Structure 1
Amino acid sequence: MSVRETDAATVRLSLRVTALCWLLVLLDGLDLFVYGATLPGVLADKGFGLTAVTGGTIGSLTTFGMMLGALSAGILTDRIGRRKIIITGVVVFSLAAAACAAAPTPSWFGAARFVAGVGLGGLLPSAIAMVMEYAPAWRKNLAVTTVMTAHQAGGALAGALGMTLVGSLGWRSVYWLGALLLVPVLPAIVFLLPESLTFLLAKGKTDRARAIADRHRVALEAFAPEPAEDRRGGLRGLFTPAVRLTTVLFWIASFAGLLLVYGVNTWLPTMMRGNGYNLGSAISFLLVINLGGIAGMLVAGRLADRFGARPVAITWFALTAGGVGLLAVHLPLALTYVVVFLTGAWLFSAQTLIYAAVGAHYPADSRATALGWVSGVGRLGAVFGPWLGGVLVASGLSTMGFLAFAIAGLLGAAMVSLVRRPTLVAQPA
Structure 2
Amino acid sequence: MKKIDLVNVIDRSRIHSFHIWLIFWLFIVIMFDGYDVVIYGASVPSFIKEWGISDVTAGVIGSYTVIGTAIGAVLFGTLADKIGRKNITLLTTFLFSFFTLLSSFASGPVVFTIFRVIAGIGLGGIMPNVIALATEFSPKRVRSAFVSFVFCGYSAGAIMAALTSRSLLPTVGWESVYLVGGVPLLFIPILIRTIPESISFLLEKGRVKEAKEVLSKIEPGFSKEDSVEFVKPETKLQGSPIFKLFVEKRAFSTVMFWISCFSAFVLIYSMNTWLPRLMMKAGYDLSSSLAFTAVMQIGAIVGTIIFGPLVDKLGFKKVLVPLFFCGAIALSLIGFTDSTLIAFALISVIGAASVGVQNMSNAFVSQYYPTRMRSTALGSTMAFGRLGGIVAPTFVGILLSMNFSPQYNFAAIASAAVLGGFAVLFVQEQHANYIEKEQTETKDEGLTVPK
TM-score by length of 2: 0.82
Of structures 1 and 2, the one scoring higher in RCO (CA 8 A, sep 6+) is 2
Structure 2 equivalent of residue 410 of structure 1: 418
Cα deviations by residue, 1:41-60 (Å, 9 ceiling, x for unpaired):
55555xxx574465444322
Do the aligned partners of 1:18 and 1:143 also contact (CA within 8 Å) in 2?
Answer: yes
Do the aligned partners of 1:292 and 1:342 also contact (CA within 8 Å) in 2?
Answer: yes
Cα deviations by residue, 1:363-420 (Å, 9 ceiling, x for unpaired):
1111111111111111111122333333444242432333333322121111111111
- Stretch deviating more after TM superposition (240-249 or 187-196): 240-249
Relative to 1, partners in 2 of residues 1:422 and 1:89: Cα closer, same or farther, differing over 3 Å?
farther
Cα deviations by residue, 1:240-278 (Å, 9 ceiling, x for unpaired):
142121111111111111111222344445556767x65
Alignment partners' CA distance in 2, 1:55 and 1:266: 9
Relative to 1, partners in 2 of residues 1:194 and 1:34: Cα closer, same or farther, differing over 3 Å?
same
Do the aligned partners of 1:101 and 1:173 also contact (CA within 8 Å) in 2?
Answer: yes
Shift of 1:351: 1.9
Alignment partners' CA distance in 1, 2:306 and 2:125: 27
- For residue 33 of structure 1, the aligned residue among 38, 52, 72 is 38
The sequence identity of aligned pairs, in percent, is: 29
Structure 2 equivalent of residue 261 of structure 1: 268
Shift of 1:342: 2.6
- For residue 80 of structure 2, the aligned residue among 68, 71, 77 is 77
Q: Secondary structure at the match of 2:192?
A: helix
Give yes or no for the alignment of 1:296 onto 2:299: no
Partner AA of 1:242 in structure 2: K
Shift of 1:231: 8.3
Partner AA of 1:58 in structure 2: I
Number of residue pairs the alignment of both structures matches: 420
Structure 1 equivalent of residue 99 of structure 2: 96
- For residue 154 of structure 1, the aligned residue among 128, 152, 157 is 157
Q: Following superposition of structure 1 onto structure 2, how do residues 258-407 of structure 1 map, counting pairs within 5 Å?
A: 258-268=265-275, 278-279=284-285, 284-330=291-337, 332-393=339-400, 394-407=402-415
Q: Following superposition of structure 1 onto structure 2, how do residues 187-206 of structure 1 map, counting pairs within 5 Å?
A: 187-201=189-203, 205-206=207-208
Do the aligned partners of 1:125 and 1:368 also contact (CA within 8 Å) in 2?
Answer: yes
- For residue 12 of structure 1, the aligned residue among 17, 30, 48 is 17
For structure 1, list consecutive stretches of 5 or more residues without a partner in the other structure.
Answer: none
Alignment partners' CA distance in 1, 2:231 and 2:417: 36
Give yes or no for the alignment of 1:21 onto 2:26: yes
Do the aligned partners of 1:320 and 1:346 also contact (CA within 8 Å) in 2?
Answer: yes
- Stretch deviating more after TM superposition (64-73 or 28-37): 28-37
Cα deviations by residue, 1:21-62 (Å, 9 ceiling, x for unpaired):
1010112122222233344455555xxx57446544432221
Q: Secondary structure at the match of 1:234?
A: coil
Give yes or no for the alignment of 1:425 onto 2:416: no
Q: CA RMSD in A?
A: 3.3
Cα deviations by residue, 1:179-209 (Å, 9 ceiling, x for unpaired):
24412x0110001111122443455544321
Do the aligned partners of 1:231 and 1:237 also contact (CA within 8 Å) in 2?
Answer: no
Relative to 1, partners in 2 of residues 1:97 and 1:389: Cα closer, same or farther, differing over 3 Å?
closer
Cα deviations by residue, 1:113-166 (Å, 9 ceiling, x for unpaired):
111000011111110111111111111111122111111111222233333334
Partner AA of 1:423 in structure 2: H
Relative to 1, partners in 2 of residues 1:55 and 1:116: Cα closer, same or farther, differing over 3 Å?
same
Relative to 1, partners in 2 of residues 1:109 and 1:272: Cα closer, same or farther, differing over 3 Å?
closer
Relative to 1, partners in 2 of residues 1:359 and 1:225: Cα closer, same or farther, differing over 3 Å?
farther
- Stretch deviating more after TM superposition (332-341 or 366-375): 332-341
Structure 2 equivalent of residue 210 of structure 1: 212
Do the aligned partners of 1:199 and 1:225 also contact (CA within 8 Å) in 2?
Answer: no
Alignment partners' CA distance in 1, 2:63 and 2:190: 32
Do the aligned partners of 1:270 and 1:282 also contact (CA within 8 Å) in 2?
Answer: yes
Partner AA of 1:246 in structure 2: S
